[in-house]
Amino acid sequence: LTTTAPKSPASTYDLLPFRFAAFRGQDYIVTNLVGEYAILPRGILVDFVRKALPRSSATYTDLKGRHFLIDDPSSVALDLLAAKYRTKLAGLASFTGLHIFVTTLRCNNLCGYCQASAISPDKARYDMSMETGLKAAAFSFKSPSPELKIEFQGGEPLLNFEIVRSVVARCAELNREKPRQLEYVLCSNLTLLTEEVLSFFEQSGMFVSTSLDGPEELHNKNRPTPTISGYRTVVKNIRRVQEAVGKSRISALMTTTRSSLVFPEAIIDEYVKLGFSSIFLRPINPYGRTTAAASECHYSSAAFCDFYRRALHYILDLNRKGIYFREEYAAIVLRKMLTPYGTGFVDLQSPSATGIGVLAYNHDGRIYASDESRMLAQMNDETFCLGHVDDDYVDVVCSDKLVDMISSTMLESIPGCTDCPYMMYCGADPVRHYRLQGDLVGHKPTSEFCAKNMEIFRMLIELLEDDRSARDIFETWVH
């Protein structure tokens, strides 16, 4: 954006840091350090940059209120901007809050897209031992974070239920010594749900996350089980968990395969029918079996965005009919756009949340920088292994490897991201870029992660700008 005109002699304001890019037609998007945005016609943007905006204009007032310009010699406005910036990044000070326990690699499902490269159920050597589980619990409590989320993953964690139970008991003990806000989540296909497990969920306050890919035919195609209809079992057991511990303590995740792309409405209807109030529309990951089954499951980021757009509009229509229902990825991004707060969502952090927002303890005691990092380890790549539960906590979290990883994942210094107006809504995802493009930073013009996110950010901003009812609905998703 260039101008040859001289700077206006009437200039009485200074510019605060901002990024900009063409948005649509002659309109540009400008965003600032705290994620505030404005859509400006090109001519207004030129005037703004030349410091030629009239003080009496509504745009001037708006841009001043949103910290794009400053015309006051006092430090009040800058102090406020700094306070908002600190609030956005407050999560960094807490350090690692999410601790993932890979209690076993065994699984009784045969999902073609499995990210964890799950092993068949008879191989007990892929289970976490009691000793490793207890050491991992102690390791996680070394984190200074005032909030700890202990998440049990697999494989299928209920195949090693004793470890889940013992780790929860140990964490409860540790929490009595130095209390934190402690939360447990178990990610399960729910095929092994028993009354004993249900009563454990009730007593421990466990949150349950299961997998539901949509209607029966689609779910069973994506997530085959050797002998039973996975769909019927998971639906029956979702209802049992809802009755036992309440609807708010169970959620479901879907994975979008190529087969899912034509069914956004049916997938959402399935979630509504089961009493869920939200869905996370999750693209397929490039880890584990996904690679071998790429021809069956994979698709372009453009195809995912078409699916996502159709789904989002369908969800908005449901809300307009009085059915409260939320898309979780949109809600995370909208919180970044519409509130002063950050989010703990690990894929959208700068610097990356690897190690400092999340640690994953594999079944064998090795510690990884994220869940995806240990998935990569199942593909014989130990790039993101940080140590072992026998190691000293400080040695692991202050290792050169982790420090290098964090310093390479500041979007503020990454080519492509540093000038991107969507930077404050986005994240680094070094494991995905390493997997797909060979380095932690990645090449953004050809990055699928970048293409998908940029499209979704634009989609949400267009809806916020053009559709009053969509904006009203989005407000209810973030407050």
What are the distances in angstroms from CA 99 to CA 224, 285, 362, 386, 416? 29, 20, 11, 14, 31
Q: How far is the CB of 160 from ligand SF4 (least distance, A)?
A: 37
Burial letters 67-97, b for 16+ CB under 10 A, else e: bbbbeeeeeebeeebeebbeebeebbebebb
Q: How far is the CB of 137 from ligand SF4 (least distance, A)?
A: 35
Burial letters 223-234, b for 16+ CB under 10 A, else e: bebeeeebbebb
The backbone torsions φ and ψ at residue 238, rounded to the nearest 5 degrees and listed phi first, read -60, -45
Burial class (CB in 10 A: 0-12, 13-18, 19+), 147: middle
Closest CB to ligand SF4 among 246 and 415? 415
Closest CB to ligand SF4 among 84 and 336? 336
Q: How far is the CB of 418 from ligand SF4 (least distance, A)?
A: 8
Closest CB to ligand SF4 among 112 and 416? 416
| Rounded to 5°, angle at Cα 220 from 265 and 113 | 90
Q: How far is the CB of 82 from ligand SF4 (least distance, A)?
A: 22
Closest CB to ligand SF4 among 18 and 60? 18
Closest CB to ligand SF4 among 47 and 429? 429
Nearby residues of 56 by Cβ (< 8 Å), 6 or more positions away: none
Nearby residues of 377 by Cβ (< 8 Å), 6 or more positions away: 362, 366, 368, 384, 385
Rg, C-alpha atoms of the chain: 24
Q: How far is the CB of 297 from ligand SF4 (least distance, A)?
A: 23
Quote the CA–CA distance of 346 and 348 in Å, as a whole number.
Answer: 6
Name the token pair of 197. Answer: 């497990």
Closest CB to ligand SF4 among 84 and 433? 433
Q: Which 3 state secondary structure label does DSSP give 438?
A: coil
Return the C-alpha torsion angle 217, 223, 224, 227, nearest 10.
-100
Name the token pair of 449. Answer: 């992660």
Q: Which 3 state secondary structure label does DSSP give 100?
A: strand
Q: How far is the CB of 20 from ligand SF4 (least distance, A)?
A: 13
Closest CB to ligand SF4 among 418 and 469? 418
Closest CB to ligand SF4 among 230 and 351? 351
> Do 314 and 270 form a contact (C-beta atoms < 8 A)?
no
Q: Which residue is associated with the tokens 């070394």?
A: 142
Quote the CA–CA distance of 91 and 343 in Å, as a whole number.
Answer: 8
In the DSSP assignment, the letter for residue 297 is H
Q: How far is the CB of 15 from ligand SF4 (least distance, A)?
A: 21
Closest CB to ligand SF4 among 386 and 420? 420
Using CB under 6 A as the criterion, which residues of the chain lie in contact with ligand SF4 when the complex forms? 411, 416-417, 420, 422-423, 426, 444, 450, 453-454
Residue type, 150: I
Closest CB to ligand SF4 among 31 and 362? 31
> Do 461 and 314 form a contact (C-beta atoms < 8 A)?
no
Closest CB to ligand SF4 among 215 and 416? 416
Q: How far is the CB of 444 from ligand SF4 (least distance, A)?
A: 4
